[in-house]
Chain A
Protein backbone atom coordinates (compact mmCIF):
# COMPACT_ATOMS: atom_id res chain seq x y z
CA UNK A 1 0.00 0.00 0.00
CA UNK A 2 1.81 3.06 -1.30
CA UNK A 3 0.84 5.95 0.96
CA UNK A 4 2.97 8.45 -0.94
CA UNK A 5 2.88 8.34 -4.72
CA UNK A 6 4.93 10.03 -7.39
CA UNK A 7 3.20 9.02 -10.56
CA UNK A 8 5.76 10.45 -12.97
CA UNK A 9 8.94 8.37 -12.97
CA UNK A 10 10.72 10.94 -15.10
CA UNK A 11 10.54 14.53 -16.27
CA UNK A 12 12.57 16.38 -18.90
CA UNK A 13 12.80 20.17 -18.88
CA UNK A 14 14.90 22.74 -20.68
CA UNK A 15 17.29 24.95 -18.77
CA UNK A 16 15.62 28.15 -17.59
CA UNK A 17 12.10 26.73 -17.66
CA UNK A 18 9.99 25.65 -14.74
CA UNK A 19 10.11 22.09 -13.39
CA UNK A 20 7.01 20.86 -11.60
CA UNK A 21 7.23 17.62 -9.66
CA UNK A 22 4.07 16.16 -8.21
CA UNK A 23 3.27 13.98 -5.24
CA UNK A 24 0.01 12.52 -3.89
CA UNK A 25 -0.62 10.96 -0.51
CA UNK A 26 -3.41 8.95 1.04
CA UNK A 27 -2.77 9.11 4.78
CA UNK A 28 -4.61 12.04 6.35
CA UNK A 29 -2.44 11.70 9.48
CA UNK A 30 0.58 13.07 7.63
CA UNK A 31 1.29 16.56 8.86
CA UNK A 32 4.76 17.31 7.54
CA UNK A 33 6.07 16.93 4.02
CA UNK A 34 9.57 17.06 2.64
CA UNK A 35 11.36 16.94 -0.67
CA UNK A 36 14.73 15.28 -1.03
CA UNK A 37 17.10 15.27 -3.96
CA UNK A 38 19.35 12.33 -4.69
CA UNK A 39 22.37 11.99 -6.94
CA UNK A 40 23.74 8.55 -7.86
CA UNK A 41 26.03 7.03 -5.21
CA UNK A 42 24.96 9.63 -2.65
CA UNK A 43 22.35 9.71 0.05
CA UNK A 44 19.25 11.91 -0.30
CA UNK A 45 19.77 15.58 0.47
CA UNK A 46 17.04 17.62 2.11
CA UNK A 47 15.65 20.36 -0.14
CA UNK A 48 12.58 21.93 1.33
CA UNK A 49 9.69 21.07 3.63
CA UNK A 50 6.21 22.23 4.48
CA UNK A 51 3.98 21.83 7.49
CA UNK A 52 0.34 20.93 6.97
CA UNK A 53 -0.72 24.26 8.45
CA UNK A 54 0.77 26.05 5.45
CA UNK A 55 -0.04 25.87 1.77
CA UNK A 56 3.20 27.26 0.39
CA UNK A 57 6.86 27.45 1.32
CA UNK A 58 9.62 29.10 -0.68
CA UNK A 59 13.36 28.77 -0.56
CA UNK A 60 15.21 30.46 -3.39
CA UNK A 61 14.40 28.71 -6.65
CA UNK A 62 12.37 26.04 -4.87
CA UNK A 63 8.72 26.36 -3.86
CA UNK A 64 6.55 23.64 -2.40
CA UNK A 65 2.78 23.85 -2.60
CA UNK A 66 0.42 21.81 -0.45
CA UNK A 67 -3.24 21.17 -1.19
CA UNK A 68 -4.55 19.29 1.83
CA UNK A 69 -8.05 18.79 0.52
CA UNK A 70 -6.65 17.09 -2.58
CA UNK A 71 -3.86 15.38 -0.62
CA UNK A 72 -1.44 16.70 -3.19
CA UNK A 73 1.83 18.55 -3.07
CA UNK A 74 4.14 19.83 -5.75
CA UNK A 75 7.67 21.12 -6.01
CA UNK A 76 8.38 23.98 -8.40
CA UNK A 77 11.91 24.74 -9.50
CA UNK A 78 12.33 28.08 -11.26
CA UNK A 79 14.49 28.53 -13.23
CA UNK A 80 15.66 24.97 -13.76
CA UNK A 81 19.40 24.40 -14.10
CA UNK A 82 21.34 21.40 -15.46
CA UNK A 83 22.73 20.83 -11.95
CA UNK A 84 19.17 20.15 -10.79
CA UNK A 85 19.21 16.88 -12.72
CA UNK A 86 18.71 14.20 -10.09
CA UNK A 87 16.05 11.97 -8.58
CA UNK A 88 13.57 13.84 -6.41
CA UNK A 89 11.75 12.10 -3.58
CA UNK A 90 8.66 13.32 -1.84
CA UNK A 91 8.36 12.21 1.80
CA UNK A 92 5.77 12.54 4.53
CA UNK A 93 5.67 12.14 8.28
CA UNK A 94 2.93 11.64 10.85
CA UNK A 95 2.85 13.77 13.97
CA UNK A 96 4.12 11.01 16.23
CA UNK A 97 7.37 12.65 17.24
CA UNK A 98 9.23 9.82 15.56
CA UNK A 99 11.54 10.13 12.62
CA UNK A 100 9.69 7.77 10.31
CA UNK A 101 9.52 9.12 6.80
CA UNK A 102 7.30 7.57 4.17
CA UNK A 103 8.83 8.13 0.75
CA UNK A 104 7.45 8.16 -2.74
CA UNK A 105 9.22 6.17 -5.44
CA UNK A 106 10.93 9.22 -6.90
CA UNK A 107 10.90 11.27 -10.10
CA UNK A 108 14.03 11.52 -12.22
CA UNK A 109 14.45 15.10 -13.43
CA UNK A 110 16.62 15.83 -16.44
CA UNK A 111 17.36 19.46 -17.19
CA UNK A 112 18.95 19.92 -20.59
CA UNK A 113 21.00 22.97 -21.59
Chain B
Protein backbone atom coordinates (compact mmCIF):
# COMPACT_ATOMS: atom_id res chain seq x y z
CA UNK B 1 0.00 0.00 0.00
CA UNK B 2 1.52 3.32 -1.02
CA UNK B 3 2.10 5.86 1.73
CA UNK B 4 1.18 9.52 1.88
CA UNK B 5 2.83 11.43 -0.94
CA UNK B 6 3.52 15.13 -1.05
CA UNK B 7 4.61 17.26 -3.98
CA UNK B 8 6.81 19.05 -4.51
CA UNK B 9 9.40 17.97 -1.96
CA UNK B 10 11.31 21.24 -2.10
CA UNK B 11 10.22 24.71 -3.11
CA UNK B 12 11.87 28.12 -3.16
CA UNK B 13 9.73 31.23 -3.42
CA UNK B 14 10.17 34.95 -2.80
CA UNK B 15 8.22 37.18 -0.46
CA UNK B 16 4.82 38.19 -1.76
CA UNK B 17 4.40 35.17 -4.00
CA UNK B 18 1.88 32.43 -3.43
CA UNK B 19 2.40 28.70 -3.30
CA UNK B 20 0.29 25.55 -3.61
CA UNK B 21 1.32 22.27 -2.02
CA UNK B 22 -0.25 18.93 -2.80
CA UNK B 23 -0.94 15.85 -0.72
CA UNK B 24 -2.20 12.44 -1.79
CA UNK B 25 -3.41 10.37 1.17
CA UNK B 26 -3.17 6.64 1.57
CA UNK B 27 -5.77 4.91 -0.57
CA UNK B 28 -9.05 4.69 1.32
CA UNK B 29 -8.16 7.41 3.81
CA UNK B 30 -10.65 10.25 3.89
CA UNK B 31 -9.17 12.58 6.48
CA UNK B 32 -6.23 14.81 5.60
CA UNK B 33 -4.51 17.12 8.07
CA UNK B 34 -1.79 19.68 7.47
CA UNK B 35 0.96 20.71 9.88
CA UNK B 36 3.74 23.27 9.78
CA UNK B 37 7.09 22.40 11.33
CA UNK B 38 9.57 25.14 12.21
CA UNK B 39 12.65 24.92 14.43
CA UNK B 40 11.24 27.24 17.06
CA UNK B 41 7.60 26.15 17.18
CA UNK B 42 7.75 22.45 16.43
CA UNK B 43 4.80 20.93 14.59
CA UNK B 44 1.69 23.09 14.54
CA UNK B 45 -1.72 22.07 13.27
CA UNK B 46 -2.97 24.03 10.28
CA UNK B 47 -6.26 22.38 9.34
CA UNK B 48 -8.04 19.10 8.73
CA UNK B 49 -10.25 18.10 5.82
CA UNK B 50 -12.73 15.29 5.72
CA UNK B 51 -15.04 14.54 2.80
CA UNK B 52 -14.09 17.80 1.10
CA UNK B 53 -15.01 19.87 4.19
CA UNK B 54 -12.70 21.69 6.54
CA UNK B 55 -13.49 20.30 9.99
CA UNK B 56 -10.95 22.02 12.13
CA UNK B 57 -8.52 24.90 11.81
CA UNK B 58 -5.46 25.94 13.76
CA UNK B 59 -4.33 29.44 14.69
CA UNK B 60 -2.93 30.58 11.37
CA UNK B 61 -3.78 33.70 9.38
CA UNK B 62 -6.21 33.62 6.49
CA UNK B 63 -3.29 33.54 4.06
CA UNK B 64 -3.20 29.82 4.73
CA UNK B 65 -6.01 27.94 3.08
CA UNK B 66 -6.69 24.49 1.78
CA UNK B 67 -9.14 22.27 0.03
CA UNK B 68 -9.88 18.62 -0.49
CA UNK B 69 -11.08 16.96 -3.64
CA UNK B 70 -13.56 14.13 -4.06
CA UNK B 71 -10.72 11.63 -4.34
CA UNK B 72 -9.46 12.83 -0.90
CA UNK B 73 -6.39 14.49 -2.36
CA UNK B 74 -5.73 17.81 -0.70
CA UNK B 75 -4.00 21.04 -1.56
CA UNK B 76 -2.73 23.75 0.70
CA UNK B 77 -2.24 27.32 -0.47
CA UNK B 78 -0.26 30.12 1.11
CA UNK B 79 -0.71 33.58 -0.36
CA UNK B 80 1.48 36.66 0.06
CA UNK B 81 4.40 34.64 1.38
CA UNK B 82 6.43 35.99 4.29
CA UNK B 83 9.93 35.00 5.38
CA UNK B 84 8.44 33.35 8.46
CA UNK B 85 6.50 30.93 6.28
CA UNK B 86 9.72 29.06 5.59
CA UNK B 87 9.06 25.66 7.10
CA UNK B 88 8.48 21.98 6.49
CA UNK B 89 4.82 21.43 5.64
CA UNK B 90 3.57 17.98 6.55
CA UNK B 91 0.43 16.26 5.47
CA UNK B 92 -1.10 13.37 7.39
CA UNK B 93 -3.94 11.06 6.45
CA UNK B 94 -6.16 8.82 8.50
CA UNK B 95 -9.00 6.48 7.76
CA UNK B 96 -11.99 8.46 8.93
CA UNK B 97 -10.52 11.12 11.16
CA UNK B 98 -12.80 10.03 13.96
CA UNK B 99 -12.05 8.08 17.10
CA UNK B 100 -8.41 7.28 17.52
CA UNK B 101 -7.47 6.52 13.95
CA UNK B 102 -3.74 6.71 13.54
CA UNK B 103 -2.38 9.50 11.38
CA UNK B 104 0.20 8.60 8.75
CA UNK B 105 2.51 11.39 7.73
CA UNK B 106 4.03 12.15 4.36
CA UNK B 107 7.69 13.20 3.93
CA UNK B 108 6.76 16.87 3.79
CA UNK B 109 7.39 19.79 1.48
CA UNK B 110 10.31 22.03 2.45
CA UNK B 111 9.34 25.61 1.60
CA UNK B 112 11.99 28.31 1.61
CA UNK B 113 10.89 31.93 1.27
CA UNK B 114 13.61 34.38 0.23
Contact = CB atoms under 8 A, between A and B. Distances in A.
Interface of A: 32, 36, 41-46, 49, 51, 89, 91, 93, 96-106
A97 B106 contact: no
B97 A46 contact: no
Contact of A100 (B48, B90, B100): B48
B100 A46 contact: no
Interface residues of B, number: 28
Contact of B107 (A42, A91, A105): A42
A87 B89 CA distance: 17
Contacts of B17: none
Which of A32, A96, A100 is packed against the most chain B CB atoms within 10 Å?
A: A100
Interface in B1-47: 4, 31, 33, 35, 41-45
12 contacts: A42-B107, A43-B90, A43-B106, A44-B90, A46-B103, A46-B104, A49-B102, A89-B42, A93-B100, A101-B45, A101-B103, A103-B44
Interface in B86-114: 90, 92, 94, 97-108
A101 B99 CA distance: 13
A82 B63 CA distance: 42
Contacts of B55: 98
A45 B42 contact: no
Closest 10 pairs (CB-CB, A-B) = A43-B105, A105-B42, A103-B43, A98-B56, A99-B97, A44-B105, A97-B98, A100-B45, A100-B56, A99-B33
